[in-house]
Amino acid sequence: MAEGLDEIEQLRAERDEMKDRFMRALADAENIRKRGERDRREAEQYGGSKLARDMLPVYDALRRALEAASDEVRAQAGALIEGVELTQRELLNVFARHGIKAITPQLGDKFDPQNHEAMFEAPVPGTVAGDIIQVMDEGFLLHDRLLRPAKVGVSSTPKS
């Protein structure tokens, strides 16, 4: 009789061990499914980040070309300037469709190291340390990830 009870206890222990292993395997499978889903979403949202980053100089070149066009050039080559503006606008539309947003700091905004890169510091009257005093390049986000920080100049004027 004791031999039968020992066998039942052994079988119960084996059953409990198998049940524990089964529950762990289920939990592992669920974690793998969730990780796979997260990886798929990230690949969908951020998979094109290298291409997006490589397209930013194209936007910069178009912006600089438009900034350099004087009124005289605009009068002489209006159709050309309009074509460059349309190209820039279409590029921004493509960016928007793919979740790329510009970071456009304004003069007087506070420097944010998460989104801005300080290119220089200079004391400027009428400002306080940390104020943006010049914007060299816009920054860009891909959804919620930084593609490129905005390049800015920052005031070093001490608080008075």
Which contiguous run of DSSP H or E holds residue 81? helix 78-97
Per-residue pLDDT of the chain (160 residues; tens, 9 = 90+): 678 788 899 999 999 999 999 999 999 999 999 999 998 888 888 878 889 999 999 999 999 999 998 889 888 988 999 999 999 999 999 999 999 999 999 999 999 999 999 999 999 888 889 999 999 999 999 999 999 999 999 998 876 5
Q: Compute φ and ψ for 91, nearest 5 degrees.
A: -60, -40
Domains assigned to the chain: 100-160 (2.30.22.10)
Question: Are 74 and 118 a contacting pair, CB within 8 Å?
Answer: no
User: For the segment 64-96, what is each residue's pLDDT rounded down to a tens digit?
Assistant: 999 998 889 888 988 999 999 999 999 999 999
Question: Are 95 and 127 a contacting pair, CB within 8 Å?
Answer: no
The set of residues, in sequence order, having a beta carbon less than 8 Å from that of 95 and lying 6+ positions away, is 52, 55, 59, 101, 102, 140
Query: Rounded to 5, what percent of the chain is helix, strand, coil?
Result: 55, 20, 20
Query: Hey, what long-range contacts does 107-113 have (CB within 8 A, 24 or more apart)?
Result: 107/132, 107/133, 107/134, 107/135, 108/132, 111/152, 111/154
